[in-house]
């Protein structure tokens, strides 16, 4: 499906609102929130009875599971077919690079076009790309250029799919269910991580192309599930203005986030953290391979992060009731700073799993707390762009982490590389402790300048 065939949401964008805590937590009206109107004093029904959210959740879960399987299979294909650590790092960088290069443009697409059709197009495109790689591997050829190209294309479409789902969720749930929906989405992310990595290892033990075939099929099933959703993935807008230029629209999202100092600081902190975790993950893979651990066991070890993530997602509401948002964000980095250097002492798969499990638990709680806040304070017509800006800051460092990790591990070895990363993590934790923006995260933000509404990106963009 061509993107040109997608129906644009032709409407004039309202003037940007100041990035402050809103009075309402979702789109106005029961229709926009994906629920029927409630009688006075009555709350919405259980989230599990929201048909469209269940379909959105399950369809995205299938797509995410496939992504987890393929992303873990790429380095396995390289390393276990005799490739170098540098080659594995290059493939990892190719899969992570779209997050850096395309997120901003993907955010404009998500705000401009029909989000449901975008997600469906991405499902089909990923299936086609994976089919090419499967055919190559079945023919007995492991070609690095093909691996790099397919990893890049699949990840690129995954960026659009993920941003569209992120922007859509508050339009299919009642405002009172937003925190619960985001918690369930994070539990889904962690559960697919838990299942995806061991599944990739097990399927790779059959043949290296089997995990990729599984991912291709999962995209087709996800397509069928998402196609059954009835409600719109964006709020209804008024006006018929023409679409603006892409770069000014991107600038509007960047400008909004720049004025929101708390979110800006949180994204910067997690960006550095993610770079360090990318190096650590590649380092653990290298150690386990050197020690002769099978791909199936490696998948189980890495899947321990999913156990911690699911536990974190399920317990986040408990943490949010007892701790402030700044405490969760700053505390997470302090705990990571303590756990990170422990990995240099470990060469046992079980011990690796015992360390990365609490790391992932804390990460899930951090994500839900910050994402819930970000979704609440962002206007619907900016959801895609704000999510893309936050995403490119937070996760755009992953390809750099893969490259740094590959070359550092090859040149210096596991212990010196991880010790250096541990020192950086400790400095980052101290910076978070003394950051005024993080200590005030969640408080009211300063009002937007009066002339901000004159921005060409915010007048009749017709997203």
Asked whether residue 58 is assigned to any structural domain, the reply reads: yes
Dihedral sign for Cα atoms in the order 438, 439, 442, 447: negative
| pLDDT attached to residue 243 | 57
- Asked whether residue 253 is assigned to any structural domain, the reply reads yes
Reported as a single tens digit per residue, the pLDDT across 4-26 is 333 333 333 333 333 333 333 33
CA distance 34 to 194: 30
* Both tokens assigned to 16: 């940007």
Rounded CA-CA distance 267/394 in Å is: 5
Q: Name the CA radius of gyration of the chain, rounded.
A: 22
Of the two residues 187 and 432, the one the predictor is more confident about is 432
Taking 3-state DSSP, the helix, strand and coil percentages for the chain, each rounded to the nearest 5, stand at 75, 0, 25
Is residue 260 scored above 60 in pLDDT?
Answer: yes
The predicted model gives 244-272 an average pLDDT of 85
**Which strand (E) or helix (H) includes residue 56?**
helix 51-80
Give the pLDDT score at 244: 63
pLDDT score for 250:
83
Q: Which residue has the higher pLDDT, 447 or 369?
A: 369
Greater confidence, 448 or 121?
121
Q: How far apart are CA 59 and CA 220, in angstroms?
A: 10
| Residues counted in the chain | 463
For residue 429, give its domain range.
51-230+245-443
Distance CA 311, CA 359 (A): 11
**239 is a domain residue:** no
Q: What's the number of domains the chain is made of?
A: 1
Which uninterrupted H or E stretch holds 123? helix 115-138
Longest CA span, the chain: 67
Task: Give the C-alpha separation, 130 to 173, whole Å.
Answer: 33
Residues 127 and 182: their CA atoms lie apart, in Å, by: 27
- Does residue 223 sit within a domain? yes
Q: Does residue 127 belong to any structural domain of this protein?
A: yes
Residue 451 has pLDDT above 60, yes or no: no
N- to C-terminal Cα separation, the chain: 20
The answer as to whether 261 is a domain residue is yes
Better-predicted residue by pLDDT, 76 or 128: 128
- 240 — pLDDT class (breaks 50, 70, 90): very low
Helix (H, G, I), strand (E, B) or coil at 8: strand
**pTM (2 d.p.):** 0.65
Q: Is residue 337 part of a domain?
A: yes
In a domain, 144, yes or no: yes
Distances (CA, A) of 67 to 60, 63, 137, 221, 390: 10, 6, 18, 13, 21
Per-residue confidence band for 397, with pLDDT thresholds at 50, 70 and 90: confident
Question: At 177, is the pLDDT very low, low, confident or very high (cuts 50, 70, 90)?
Answer: confident
207 vs 235 pLDDT, higher one: 207
Three-state DSSP class for residue 449: coil
| CATH number where 133 lies | 1.20.1250.20
Mean pLDDT, range 386-392, rounded to an integer: 81
Average pLDDT over residues 47-66: 86
What is the residue-averaged pLDDT of the chain? 78
């Amino acid at each position: 499906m061509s993107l040109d065939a997608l129906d644009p949401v032709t409407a004039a964008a309202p003037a940007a609102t100041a990035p402050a805590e809103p009075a309402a937590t979702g789109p106005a009206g029961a229709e926009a929130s994906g629920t029927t109107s409630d009688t006075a004093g009555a709350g919405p029904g259980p989230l599990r009875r929201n048909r469209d959210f269940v379909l959105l959740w399950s369809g995205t879960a299938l797509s995410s599971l496939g992504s987890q399987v393929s992303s873990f299979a790429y380095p396995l294909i390289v390393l276990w077919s005799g490739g170098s650590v540098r080659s594995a790092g290059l493939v990892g960088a190719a899969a992570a690079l779209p997050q850096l290069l395309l997120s901003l443009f993907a955010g404009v697409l998500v705000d401009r076009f029909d989000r449901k059709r975008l997600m469906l197009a991405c499902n089909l495109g990923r299936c086609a790309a994976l089919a090419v790689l499967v055919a190559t591997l079945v023919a007995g050829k492991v070609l690095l250029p093909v691996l790099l190209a397919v990893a890049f294309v699949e990840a690129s479409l995954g960026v659009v799919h993920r941003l569209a789902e992120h922007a859509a969720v508050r339009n299919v749930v009642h405002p009172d269910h937003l925190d619960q929906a985001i918690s369930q989405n994070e539990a889904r992310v962690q559960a697919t991580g838990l299942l995806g990595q061991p599944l990739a290892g097990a399927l790779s033990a059959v043949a290296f192309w089997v995990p990729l075939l599984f991912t291709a099929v999962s995209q087709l099933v996800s397509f069928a599930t998402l196609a059954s959703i009835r409600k719109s993935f964006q709020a209804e807008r008024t006006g018929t203005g023409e679409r603006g230029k892409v770069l000014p629209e991107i600038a509007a999202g960047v400008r909004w986030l720049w004025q929101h100092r708390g979110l800006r600081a949180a994204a910067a902190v997690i960006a550095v953290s993610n770079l360090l975790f990318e190096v650590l993950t590649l380092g653990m893979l290298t150690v386990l391979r050197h020690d002769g651990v099978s791909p199936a066991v490696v998948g189980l070890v890495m899947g321990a992060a999913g156990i911690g993530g699911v536990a974190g997602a399920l317990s986040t509401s408990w943490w949010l009731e007892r701790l402030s948002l700044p405490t969760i964000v700053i505390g997470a980095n302090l705990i990571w700073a303590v756990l990170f250097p422990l990995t240099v002492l470990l060469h046992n798969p079980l011990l690796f799993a015992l360390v990365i499990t609490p790391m992932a638990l804390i990460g899930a709680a951090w994500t839900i707390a910050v994402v819930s806040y970000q979704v609440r304070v962002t206007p619907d017509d900016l959801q895609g762009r704000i999510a893309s800006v936050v995403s490119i800051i937070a996760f755009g460092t992953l390809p750099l982490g893969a490259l740094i990790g590959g070359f550092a591990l090859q040149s210096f070895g596991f212990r010196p590389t991880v010790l250096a990363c541990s020192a950086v993590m400790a400095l980052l934790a101290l910076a978070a402790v003394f950051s005024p923006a993080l200590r005030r995260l969640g408080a009211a933000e300063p009002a937007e300048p009066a002339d901000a509404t004159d921005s060409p990106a915010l007048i009749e963009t017709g997203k």
